[in-house]
Amino acid sequence: MQWTELIVFSALFLLVTVMGFLAARWQKGDTLEHLDEWGLGGRKFGSWITWFLVGGDLYTAYTFVAVPALMFGAGALGFYALPYTIILYPLVFLPLVRMWSVSRVHGYVTPADFVKGRYGSHWLALIIAVTGIVATMPYIALQLVGLEAVLRSMGLNGSGILGHLPLFVAFLILALYTYQSGLRAPALIAFVKDILIYLVILVAIIYLPSKFGGWGEIFNDAQAKFDATPSKTDGILLTGTNQLQYATLALGSALALFLYPHSLTGILASRGRNVIKRNMVALPAYSLLLGLLALLGFVAISAGTKPIVNQATGRPDTNTIVPELFGANFPSWFAGIAFAAIGIGALVPAAIMSIAAANLWTRNVYKEYMKKNATPAEEAKQAKLASLVVKFGAVAFIVFVDPQFSIDLQLMGGVMILQTLPAVAIALYTRWFHVYALVAGWIAGMGYGMWLLYNIGNPAIGKAHFAGSALPLGNISVFGWHPFGASTTQIYVGIVALLVNLVVAVVVTLIAKKAGWFNGTDQTDPSDYHVDEDNPRVKPIAAH
Partner 1 sequence: MPSDHKTGLRWSNWNLLLILPLFMLITPWFNMDEPRIFGLPFFYWYQFLFVPLGVVCVGLVYVKTKDEPVVTGKLDKLGVDDLDEGAN
Residues in contact with partner 1 by CB under 8 A are: 76, 79, 82-83, 86-87, 89-91, 93-94, 214-219, 236-238, 243-244, 246-247, 250-251, 274, 277-278, 280-281, 284, 287-288, 291, 295, 429, 526-527, 529-532, 535, 537
C-alpha distances (whole Å) from 302 to each of 30, 33, 82, 222 are 56, 53, 22, 7
Tell the smallest beta-carbon distance from residue 535 to partner 1 (Å): 6
d(CA 93, CA 43): 19
Find the shortest distance in angstroms from Cβ 285 to partner 1: 8
* Smallest gap from residue 171 Cβ to partner 1 (A): 34
Query: What's the closest the beta carbon of residue 56 comes to partner 1, in angstroms?
Result: 19
Pairing of strands 470-472, 315-316: unpaired
Identify which of residues 9 and 79 has a Cβ nearer to partner 1 in the complex: 79
- Determine the Cα–Cα distance for residues 224 and 465; give it in Å rounded to an integer: 30
Our CB check for partner 1 shows the closer of 210 and 373 to be 210
Q: Smallest gap, in angstroms, from Cβ of residue 293 to partner 1?
A: 12
27 Cβ partners below 8 Å, 6+ apart?
Answer: 41, 42, 44, 184
Helices (H), 434-526: 435-454, 493-515
Measured from the CB of residue 281, what is the shortest distance to partner 1 in angstroms? 5
Closer of 126 and 531 to partner 1 (Cβ):
531
Query: Are the CB atoms for 431 and 529 separated by under 8 Å?
Result: no
Q: Which is nearer to partner 1, 84 or 334 (CB)?
A: 84
- Cβ distance to partner 1 smaller for residue 205 or 443: 205
**Amino acid letter, residue 346:** A
Residue whose CB is less far from partner 1, 169 or 237: 237
Q: Of the two residues 88 and 502, which places its CB atom closer to partner 1 in the complex?
A: 88
Check: CB of residue 479 under 8 Å from CB of residue 500: no
Pick the closer one to partner 1 by CB: 465 or 530. Answer: 530
- Give the residue from 463, 432, 466 showing the smallest Cα distance to 449: 466
In this complex, which beta carbon is closest to partner 1, that of residue 280 or of residue 456? 280
| Strand 315-316 to 309-310 pairing | antiparallel
Q: Report in angstroms how near the CB of residue 251 gets to partner 1 at its nearest.
A: 6
Specify the residue, 76 or 446, whose C-beta has the smaller distance to partner 1.
76
Instruction: Give kind and range of the element (H or E) at residue 471.
Output: strand 470-472
3-state helix, strand, coil in the chain (%, to 5): 70, 5, 25
- Least distance (Å) from partner 1 to the CB of residue 106? 16
Q: Which is nearer to partner 1, 280 or 504 (CB)?
A: 280
Residue 533: burial class (beta carbons within 10 Å; 0-12, 13-18, 19+) = middle
With beta carbons less than 8 A apart as the criterion, state whether 329 and 211 touch.
yes
* Cβ atoms 53, 286 nearer than 8 A: no
Residue type for position 147: L
Least distance (Å) from partner 1 to the CB of residue 519?
Answer: 16
Exposure pattern of 130-141 as b/e (b: 16+ CB <10 Å)?
bbbbebbbbbbb
Q: Which amino acid is at 182?
A: G
Greatest CA separation found in the chain?
71
DSSP letters along 512-523, please? HHHHT-------
Find the shortest distance in angstroms from Cβ 6 to partner 1: 35
Distance CA 76, CA 21 (A): 42
Query: Could you tell me which residues come within 8 angstroms of residue 197 by beta carbon, excluding any fewer than 6 positions away?
Result: 59, 64, 289, 341, 345
Residue 531 or 542: the one with the smaller Cβ distance to partner 1 is: 531
Q: Write phi, then psi, for 517 (nearest 5 degrees).
A: -65, 145
The CB-of-250 to partner 1 minimum distance in angstroms stands at 6
Note whether 38 and 178 are within 8 A (CB): no
Least separation in angstroms between CB 229 and partner 1: 18
**Residues 359, 260: contact at Cβ < 8 Å?**
no
CB-count exposure of residue 532 (10 Å: 0-12, 13-18, 19+) = middle
Spatial separation of the C-alpha atoms in residues 394 and 387, rounded to whole Å: 11
Closer Cβ to partner 1, 238 or 360, answer by number: 238
Least Cβ distance, residue 422 to partner 1 (angstroms): 17
